[in-house]
Structure 1
Amino acid sequence: MCGITAVVALDHVAQSTLNSQYRSRLGHEIQGSLSNIYHRGPDAHGIWISDDNRVALGSNRLAINDLSQSGEQPFHSEHGVHAVINGEIYMSSEERETLKKFHTFKGHSDCEVVVALYRKYGQDFLSKLRGEFAVCLYDSERQVFLAARDRYGIKPLFWTVVDHRLLFCSEAKGFLPFDWNPKWDVRSLIDDSWLHSEKTIFHGVHKIRPGYYLTCDSFSEHTERRKYWDLTYPDRHTPDKRTEDEMVTEVRNKLIEAIELRLHADVPVGFYLSGGIDSATICGMATLAVEGWSRKSGLDPAEIKKRLKCFCIGFEEETRFDEGPIAQRTADMLGLELITDRMNEAKFAENFSDATYSSEHHNPDLNYIGKFALSKLAHDHGVKVILSGEGSDEHFGGYWQFHPDFLREPDETYTTYQLDENRRARLTAGLEASSKAGYEGTSSEFTQTSSPLAHSLLNNTSISSLLWTVTMADFAPWTSCYGTLDRQEMRAHNPDIATVNLIQNTWHPLHTSQYIWTKSILPNLILTCMGDRMEMAHSVEGRPPFLDHHLTEYVNHLPPSVKIKYDPQTNRLTEKWILREAATPFISDELYSRKKHPFSAPILYKRGGPLHAMLEELVTRENVEQLGFLDGEMVERRFEAAFAGEGDPNAMRYVFTVAQWVVLSQRFGIEKAVAPGW
């Protein structure tokens, strides 16, 4: 699926909904909303409007399973249940068979099971879903509307209220045909709450949080937002009696199962392959699965493998960002075809506006444009489904930001874990100090100094101060009207109070860091401008096996010391140790030993080049003033610094951010931000 739209008319417009003129207008609005979502191509729109015109559901289909008309949405039951679903639901044929007493299936689309599950379990059907999805469902008999999002936020779902109508859409731009008037949420930009809460950068537009659902009963203006799933971790004081071999074997088996499920499709399936262990493990395990299937079917495994394509993006300007050569060695080892595209400065400039518009938010790195081009590469080679490695670092301890909190306390769950307390304290302090430097070009200038309250709330962990600095800007003086805003405190207040209690009394500090990252950077940055938005911009569906909740629930309950391994002989930490061990039969020695390298794009560019010319056109005094919330003089100084001499990476990322805001302002038609008239 490519995108969904839903409209619920609230009490105040009850009378206006009961005429044919409104129905026609509503149909046109939904058609416009669906057409507004990404570059959809020829795939079909499906629209359903209730008899009383109170509820409307629309779907823009990317056909993956059941390519016939029987797979088209919305889905309906004879009991008045209507639904649109974006994404994929994984369920065995045996499980599906048991649901036939609750629903008469019209085809074999994976998403149709949602209607049957709702009929059987009511709203608890959400706990039965396995996969990546966004759902809008209307029960006409009970007058209940429900909207939900998958556990990790792989698929997006936004909502707002316009003219007493409750609107839902896979992208904010889908609201434009409903007379939505976009405005900046300046406060969410200043304190980064768009990255750590249900807010977005648009005023009044909210996202359904991962693992949450929203309900609206009998067209009232009141909505309820509830959690149906959350990450859990073990008590840090309870020893884990499993052996390392047992844990490695179970991780391997669960990951293979998650990959095998995501290989099923009625269209070609491919892989993103970089120079890291995550994508290589997926490719290796998938190759094994395909070889097994082909032998059972009496087919030549070599011929079947030829159908599997891997895709990679390389960078011409700076070889340190180029993972093409190691990806090629991995593909050669597995006998897979690797198709590579080369990004250069001109291509970054050419795709900047479209990638930003698809993203719908800013990113101080141009890696999202690389992902935009990578998804186009897959689309151009006829591949509609891609398996990718997102979620591995979050669950296996792959980020260097996790290291200080891994060492902050002893791991009492791991009985063989031994580290002298004095050495542990020194290592923790050293890692914390070195981590504050952050990524290249993201200095601490745009983050507040350490917040005692944030550290206290999060059991004295350092994750609140070490998260990726996403918003880099000097805000206009008038924005002080929002009071003193602290990004670290915003991050620390993201978990609910019950979770904070677990953080303070039950979880190991590493698990606290993983929770905070997985609830913020993962769904609101990595899975958006590095995931679904870039993929769906070219009608490609991304499937991340590492975010299969059957796998993650097991991994979350592993001891911290098998995720990050400390070697007393070398005094070094090995991130994702247990994944490396589980992946050993499927990857090269080179990858097994390789340190993590984040997918990043080149930062510095010369004056007079294609990016400089493009940024000069976007970051003008007039365009910056039209934004309304920035200090124009500081923007000009930063622009000059970005291209002065050898270049300033900090200033360059700043300019990238401002230029993206200008693109969004112009393409969405966003009002100039002004001080609120309180």
Structure 2
Amino acid sequence: MCGITGWLDFDRAPAGRRAIAQAMTDTMSCRGPDAEGLVLDGPVALGHRRLAVIDVAGGRQPMTVDEDGHALAVISYSGEVYNFTELRTELQGYGHRFRTRSDTEVVLRAYVQWGEEFVHRLNGMYAFAVWDVRRQELLLVRDRLGVKPLYYQRLPHGVLFGSEPKAILAHPDASRAVDEDGLRELLAMAKTPERSVYRDVHEVRPGHLVRVGRTGLTRRRYWALEAREHSDDLDTTVRTVRDLVDDSVRRQTVSDVPLCAQLSGGLDSSVVTAFAARALHERGDGPLRSFTVDFTGYGEMFTPNLIAETRDLPFAHDLARHAGTEHRDIVLDTAELTDAHARAAVLRATDVPNGSGDFNTSLYLLFRAIRQHSTVALSGESADEIFGGYPWMFHPEAVQADTFPWLAFLHNEHALSGLLDEGLLKRLDLSGYRRERYAEALAEAPRLAGETGFDQRMRAVSYVHLTRFLQAMLDRKDRMSMAVGLEVRVPFCDHRLVEYAFNVPWAMKTFDGHEKSLLRAAGRELLPDSVLQRRKVVYPTVQDPAYEHTLRAEFAAMLADPQAPVLALLNVDAAREQLRRPVGEVSISVLRASMEMAVQLNSWLSRYDLSLRW
């Protein structure tokens, strides 16, 4: 999987600044605990930290390909290309000779053979940098769905880049500022493609590549969703979805290190787990390991709510028995979820604060526990966006709103609701910002000739989820897993499946009147009845009152500290008034998220030494 970083500077060659390149590479140590490498060649520095998954002995990086003793190109690569075996065979037909069994060398030689058009041949999740020695150009590439992250910041004569912002921030020329647009992006709860919270730091957009040479920086889109007529009948559509899911899962179970599945007992993770268990059994590699998160006392404390009617454990156990997995429950207690070191690790992993609190911390702790047994995990992420699984997709007012459907469904709250300084809140105009970003997203959505009304709207809503909501979910999963050196693969993000399912009419996706009807039908033969009948629930969050008591104590201590940097952004009187509201109040979820965000924002401003500019 790995972490990559580096920079290109035609004015000041990095060759004489090895210590800086090393510091940038060191920030990626969690993403790559197995090995490191650093190449400085003229105007470019490429750093790499490796998590060894394929060809453990031979896949060291950065990797160079030579011809007649002269270097042609160097790559620093993160991710997995699942069709690398087929590509290797094709490249061997063109005369390429391979020194390793790794997919890294296949990607590098594919670039040498086909130039930047090679991206159309890749099936996988990836983010990488290729230094073309002959052309003296740097190519930054990100996978189609944006499973793997990649950031960059322009320099007057080059670029800084890294898998995470922290790698860029380790360079002395990096911008360590957050302006009004950055704060809007932080609080909006809708991730805008290309933008980051940090001023001047951008993401390589999914399905795009960035080329940097002496004449400057250019961006190019190499993949996007397209609107196409869907002519298959229901039976054919179900069979095609089943075949695509099966093929994607089989490709993604290839690993030279222990592999497992993250299992919630929901439809998405159960489909992936069941297909993977069957694939391993047929190869004689089983049984598949599976893991589920739970909380101490959760069974007694659990209270159903609007987006979580049932708890996960019973359904996960049903699927594990049905599929024959080697199952383990990871049970977390409140002390672990409030541990200062764990919460600091989460902030360090994400590089930005958020109001999700234990939502992220529990995932981090789950992945840390899984990492003791496996190096690669399969996940059901993105099925909701592809097949229509979120409750707000079935809420007419949310679908027709002038803002993102999930925000309309959640009453347009923001991450510091009730706590922001009124003057700042008015200046930020978060509602207006969200409307503008939503209008941009809708305008991007591909249209099918002759499609109107509800069908056209649901196609656009699906597009917005795949290009905005999914990005936040994938980013969360990548950061929490890579913080502990665990590679998480997402079979539903196979671009062939996404392209096909995107063009299936909404009526067919919900043909039986429930969410994700198509996926449920595709996996029916491998799932127990309990899972087939279960309704969508979100990732669990702790309901122990002790968690909120600890959070309130941290929040009160922060308000009492006159040096706390976040106080400049808050309405302190309103924040103190919030603390007087009783624990467990009906609207406590919003208050809890706001307190979480304020505490994390304060830690972030302190630890990252940021300047606020507006």
2:236 pairs with 1:246: yes
Residue by residue over 1:584-624, the C-alpha shift from the partner in whole angstroms, topping out at 9 and shown as x without a partner, is 11111011111000113136735884333344445555365
Q: Where in structure 2 are the equivalents of 1:374-385 lying within 5 Å?
A: 374-381=366-373, 383-385=374-376
Q: Which residue of 1 aligns with 2:259?
A: 269
Per-residue CA shift, 1:43-99, capped at 9, x if unaligned?
21111111x2x0111110000000114443334343521111100011153431221
Q: SS where residue 223 of structure 1 aligns?
A: strand
C-alpha RMSD of matched pairs (Å): 2.9
**Does 2:65 match 1:76?**
yes
More divergent stretch after superposition (35-44 vs 501-510): 501-510
Distance 1:622 1:2 in 2: 41
The 3 A distance-change label for structure 1 pair 543 and 462 is closer
CA contact (8 A) 2:548 2:592 kept: no
Q: What aligned pairs does 1:139-538 form with structure 2 within 5 A after superposition?
A: 139-161=132-154, 165-179=158-172, 180-190=174-184, 192=188, 195-218=191-214, 220=215, 222-234=216-228, 240-294=230-284, 304-306=285-287, 308-316=288-296, 317=298, 318-320=301-303, 322-350=311-339, 351-365=342-356, 366-381=358-373, 383-404=374-395, 428=396, 432=397, 451=402, 465-466=408-409, 471-473=415-417, 474-476=419-421, 477-478=423-424, 480=426, 486-495=432-441, 499=445, 508-523=456-471, 525-529=472-476, 531-538=477-484
Shift of 1:41: 7.0
Specify the alignment match of 1:56 in structure 2: 45
Q: Verify: 1:542 aligned to 2:536, yes or no.
A: no
**Alpha carbons 2:5, 2:163 under 8 Å: kept:** yes
Mean CA deviation greater in 353-362 or 576-585:
353-362
Q: Secondary structure at the match of 2:52?
A: coil
Structure 1 residues 496 and 596: alpha-carbon distance in aligned structure 2, compared to 1, 3 A threshold: closer
Q: 2:265·2:315 contact (CA, 8 Å) conserved in 1?
A: yes
Q: Which amino acid aligns with 1:124?
A: E
Q: Distance in 2 between matches of 1:206 and 1:165?
A: 14
Whole-Å separation in 2 of the counterparts to 1:120 and 1:387: 32
CA displacement at 1:649 relative to structure 2: 1.9
Structure 1 unaligned residues grouped into runs of 5+: 295-303, 405-427, 437-449, 455-460, 567-572
Partner residue, 2:574: 634
Deviating more after overlay: 655-664 vs 130-139: 655-664
Per the alignment, residue 421 of structure 1 pairs with: none
Q: Does 1:563 align with 2:513?
A: no
User: Given the superposition, is the C-alpha separation of residues 580 and 71 from structure 1 closer, same or farther in structure 2, using an over 3 Å criterion?
Assistant: same
One-letter amino acid of the counterpart of residue 634, structure 1: A
Number of residues of Structure 1 aligned to a counterpart in Structure 2: 590
Query: Is the contact between residue 66 and residue 108 of structure 1 (CA under 8 Å) also seen in structure 2?
Result: yes
**Which amino acid is 1:96 matched to?**
R
* SS at 2:177 equivalent: coil
Q: Distance in 2 between matches of 1:204 and 1:628?
A: 23
CA contact (8 A) 2:32 2:50 kept: no
Q: Secondary structure at the match of 1:82?
A: strand
C-alpha spacing 1:463/1:181, structure 2 compared with 1 (3 Å): closer
TM-score between the two structures when normalised by the length of structure 2? 0.88
Deviation at 1:337, TM superposition (A): 1.6
Measure how far apart 1:537 and its partner are. Answer: 0.5
Please name the residue that 2:606 is paired with: 666
Partners of 2:430 and 2:593 lie apart in 1 by 25
Asked if structure 2 preserves the Cα contact closer than 8 Å seen for 1:194 and 1:200, the reply is no
Equivalent-residue separation in structure 1 for 2:585 and 2:408 (angstroms): 31
Q: Which among 51, 62, 65 is matched to residue 54 of structure 2?
A: 65
Instruction: Give TM-score, length-normalised by structure 1.
Output: 0.81
In the TM superposition, what is the alpha-carbon distance from 1:627 to its structure 2 partner?
Answer: 6.3
Return the letter of the residue paired with 1:216: V
Distance in 2 of aligned mates of 1:623 and 1:336: 52
The 5 Å alignment of 1:110-121 reads 110-121=103-114
Letter in 2 for 1:63: A
Greater Cα offset, 40-49 or 498-507: 498-507
Give unmatched runs, 5+ long, in structure 2: none
Question: In structure 1, which of residues 601, 610, 619 is the aligned counterpart of residue 541 of structure 2?
Answer: 601
* CA 485–393 in structure 1, closer or farther in 2 if over 3 Å, else same: closer
Q: Is this contact kept in 2: 1:158–1:205, CA < 8 A?
A: yes
Q: Helix, strand or coil: the match of 2:394?
A: helix
CA distance in 1: counterparts of 2:533 and 2:276, whole angstroms: 21
Distance (Å, rounded) in 1 between the aligned partners of 2:498 and 2:430: 37
Contact 1:532/1:542 (8 A) holds in 2: yes
Aligned to 1:649: 589
Separation in 2, partners of 1:621, 1:547: 45
Deviation, 1:505, is: 6.2
In structure 2, distance between residues paired with 1:628 and 1:202: 18
User: Residues 173, 194 of structure 1: CA spacing in aligned structure 2 closer, same or farther, 3 A cutoff?
Assistant: farther
Letter in 1 for 2:120: S
Distance apart, 1:275 and its partner CA:
2.0
Q: 1:138 to 1:243 in 2, by over 3 A?
A: same
Per-residue deviation, residues 567-595 of structure 1 (Å, max 9, x unmatched): xxxxxx30100111110111110111110
